[in-house]
């Protein structure tokens, strides 16, 4: 195989797969990308067996064929190259020659036959989704996916379609058991996709979908045979779904809150950032005290010291004191866009519900903690 290809084109493609190629794996082939050249294009493939990516790139194909090359090393070489064209040529005994006419590389590779076969599910019903909408949905749910190894059934974003007032909505929900985020948007045609009962998309897969969505424009999404399929232009991602049952999230979302505090989002975010300075692994909480038009934040850590700040709020309920993890508030508020946020309370042993006027379809929920 021998090709001449635009440096910028292949660099953009190889940049997309850096989160997929395995850096530490007992299968060295998974750290490689497969380049398949034919006619006037090269197909770049990468997989970690859970997520598979393919993209076609225009190229001058001198000799067709297949080679593998280290995904990380190719990325680093292209990043440092300033020349417009790259020549990649297969050598004997699984070596690859690469040059930009200024610097020359000889790289060891692996037989292309060892690369896992990419199988695209057939007959997938795809629905067009605006990339900015999908990106917003992911950004407002991915932060509360569990990071704990033992939390496998919560290690993704639960995705389902719901009908509200006769209109089809796509809903995403995530939780780590201490907080929950829910985001839903009306999406035309979403009723056609087959996700009855909901499905679980792994966090890593959602991060790759987010990259695709962030390129702007629309993409096409569908589900079949325990796979999520996303297509955008010449790029294709296939993500293996998690085989786990998501808990009944509706049971923990209060139907109605008793008291509501409204305040500036940036003021609350800044206040929580100040409180988190004094937190540690042992002392993570902040006490929120709210009464008529006043909210006080207090962080106490016996090993370091204490901090407190008063904020202006719109609040007409009874005095309420409750403890929460300050970091959870920061994560939720940073994902939001509203100028003002509403915090809904029932009592000091019930979750706090976060909403915002400009964050339509979003609901954040934070469980209280003992201080």
Give the residue from 222, 250, 278 where a domain finishes. 250
d(CA 195, CA 161): 7
Pick out the chain residues at pLDDT < 50. Answer: none
Beta strands, E only, 241-293: 259-264, 285-291
| b/e per residue 167-177 (b: at least 16 CB within 10 A) | ebbbbbbbbbe
Same domain for 321 and 303, yes or no, is: yes
Determine, yes or no, domain membership for 270. Answer: yes
3-state secondary structure of 137: helix
CA distances 285 to 128, 275, 322, Å, are 43, 9, 10
Q: Would you state the pLDDT for residue 102?
A: 94
Determine, yes or no, domain membership for 297. Answer: yes
Same domain for 204 and 179, yes or no, is: yes
Which structure tokens are listed for 325? 């993890």
Same domain for 21 and 103, yes or no, is: yes
* Chain length of the chain: 371
The dihedral through the CA atoms of 352, 336, 272, 284 has a sign that is: positive
DSSP string of 299-350, one letter each residue: EEETTTEEEEEEEE-B--S--EEEEEEHHHHHHHHHH---SEEEEEES-TTS
Q: pLDDT tens, 297-333?
A: 999 899 899 999 999 999 999 999 999 999 999 999 9
3-state secondary structure of 92: coil
Give the residue from 220, 250, 280 where a domain finishes. 250
Number of domains in the chain: 3
d(CA 95, CA 105): 10
Determine, yes or no, domain membership for 166. Answer: yes
Determine, yes or no, domain membership for 12. Answer: yes
Q: Would you state the pLDDT for residue 157?
A: 96
Which structure tokens are listed for 118? 């990419």
d(CA 342, CA 319): 17
Phi, psi of 247 (to 5 degrees): -65, 165
The dihedral through the CA atoms of 78, 13, 53, 246 has a sign that is: positive
3-state secondary structure of 156: strand
Determine, yes or no, domain membership for 23. Answer: yes
Same domain for 75 and 180, yes or no, is: no
Determine, yes or no, domain membership for 120. Answer: no
Q: Would you state the pLDDT for residue 149?
A: 57
Q: Where are the alpha helices (DSSP H) in the chain?
A: 7-16, 71-80, 131-139, 203-213, 265-276, 326-335
Q: What percent of the chain is modeled with pLDDT above 90?
A: 86
Same domain for 272 and 336, yes or no, is: yes
Name beta bridge partners: 158: 173, 200
Q: Would you state the pLDDT for residue 280?
A: 87
d(CA 366, CA 47): 36
Report the CATH number that the domain containing residue 186 is assigned in CATH: 3.10.150.10
For residue 40, what are the domain limits? 2-114
Give the residue from 44, 79, 114 where a domain finishes. 114
CB-based contacts of 131-136 (< 8 A; 24+ apart in sequence): 131/212, 131/213, 131/214, 131/215, 131/216, 131/217, 131/218, 131/219, 131/232, 132/213, 132/216, 133/185, 133/187, 134/209, 134/210, 134/213, 134/219, 134/221, 135/210, 135/213, 135/214, 136/183, 136/185
Same domain for 282 and 330, yes or no, is: yes
Q: Would you state the pLDDT for residue 146?
A: 82
Q: Would you state the pLDDT for residue 167?
A: 92
d(CA 86, CA 156): 39
Rg of the chain over CA atoms, in angstroms? 25
């Amino acid at each position: 195989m021998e090709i001449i290809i635009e440096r910028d084109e292949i660099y953009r493609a190889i940049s997309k797969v850096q989160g997929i190629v395995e850096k530490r794996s007992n299968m060295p082939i998974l750290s490689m990308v497969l380049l398949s050249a034919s006619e006037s294009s090269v197909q770049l493939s990468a997989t970690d067996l859970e997520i598979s990516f393919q993209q076609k790139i225009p190229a001058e194909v001198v000799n067709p064929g297949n080679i593998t090359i280290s995904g990380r090393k190719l990325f680093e070489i292209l990043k440092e190259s300033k020349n417009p064209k790259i020549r990649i040529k297969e050598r004997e005994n699984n070596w690859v020659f690469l040059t930009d006419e200024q610097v020359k590389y000889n790289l060891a590779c692996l037989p292309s036959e060892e690369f896992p076969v990419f199988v695209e599910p057939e007959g997938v019903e795809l629905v067009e989704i605006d990339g900015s909408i999908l990106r917003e949905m992911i950004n407002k749910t991915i932060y509360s996916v569990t990071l704990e190894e033992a939390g496998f059934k919560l290690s993704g974003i639960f995705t389902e379609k719901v009908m509200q007032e006769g209109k089809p909505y796509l809903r995403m929900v995530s939780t780590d058991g201490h907080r929950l985020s829910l985001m839903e948007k009306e999406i035309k045609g979403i009723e056609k996709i087959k996700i009855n009962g909901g499905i679980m998309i792994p966090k890593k897969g959602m991060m790759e979908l987010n990259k695709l969505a962030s390129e702007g424009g629309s993409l096409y999404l569908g589900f079949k045979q325990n796979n999520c399929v996303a297509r955008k232009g010449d790029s294709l991602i296939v993500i293996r779904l998690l085989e786990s049952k998501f808990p009944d999230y509706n049971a923990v979302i209060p139907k109605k809150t008793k008291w509501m505090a409204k305040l500036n989002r940036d003021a609350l975010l800044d206040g929580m950032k100040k409180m988190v300075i004094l937190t540690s692994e042992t002392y993570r909480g902040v006490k929120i005290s709210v009464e008529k038009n006043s909210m006080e934040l207090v962080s106490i850590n016996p090993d370091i010291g204490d901090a407190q700040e008063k904020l202006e709020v719109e609040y007409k309920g009874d005095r309420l004191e409750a403890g929460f993890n300050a970091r959870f508030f920061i994560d939720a508020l940073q994902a939001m866009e509203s100028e003002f946020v509403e915090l809904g309370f029932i009592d000091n042993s019930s979750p706090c519900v976060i909403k915002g006027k400009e964050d339509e379809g979003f609901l954040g929920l934070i469980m209280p903690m003992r201080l």
